[in-house]
Amino acid sequence: MRMLLILLAGMLVGALIAFSAANALHQRSAWPRGVMNVLQHHLGELRSLQRRNDCTPARTALHFQRLAQTGADIGPAFADEKPDFHDQARRFVDASSRLGAEAPTSCQALDEALRQTGDACESCHLRYR
């Protein structure tokens, strides 16, 4: 019985240590995941505006500006993992900034802008996954 209790206590301590280590590793990558989640949110909002045919420049420009602002954090967020990420991130930020400054004036123009933005995202994901 004594050996069983010692074994259970050892398993409990081991599980707590493993949980603590996993939690620390999970928190280490919170910033990169957060940046990607914010980018995904604004792309989702733009697609939602497109589906509702609410393609006014005032609404779309805001999301493209936010994409550019958040995109500026891509390079620093992934600097430890992928040091050459800055060039790809800069191209995304440049494209988003241009689209924010010259917001699409129609839903067809928004379609093209979303295609370009999606292509920029996809090329990054294909290269760095």
Q: Which residue has the higher pLDDT, 27 or 42?
A: 42
CATH number at residue 46: 1.20.120.10
CA separation for the pair 61, 75 (Å, rounded): 23
Asked if the model's pLDDT at residue 84 lies above 70, the reply is no
Host domain of residue 65: 30-128
- Let me know if residue 20 belongs to a domain: no
| pLDDT 10s digits, 87-98 | 777 778 888 888
- Let me know if residue 22 belongs to a domain: no
| H helix intervals, 1-129 | 2-28, 30-51, 57-71, 74-77, 85-101, 107-128
Count of structural domains, the chain: 1
pLDDT at 13: 92
Of 116, 93, 118, 92, give the one whose Cα is nearest residue 104. Answer: 116
- Let me know if residue 10 belongs to a domain: no
- Let me know if residue 23 belongs to a domain: no
Asked if the model's pLDDT at residue 45 lies above 90, the reply is yes
| pLDDT 10s digits, 30-41 | 888 899 999 999
- Let me know if residue 55 belongs to a domain: yes
Core vs surface per residue 41-77: b (16+ CB within 10 A) or e: ebbebbeebbeeeebeeeebbebbbbbbebbbbbbeb
CA separation for the pair 103, 83 (Å, rounded): 32
CA separation for the pair 85, 118 (Å, rounded): 17
Average pLDDT, the chain: 84
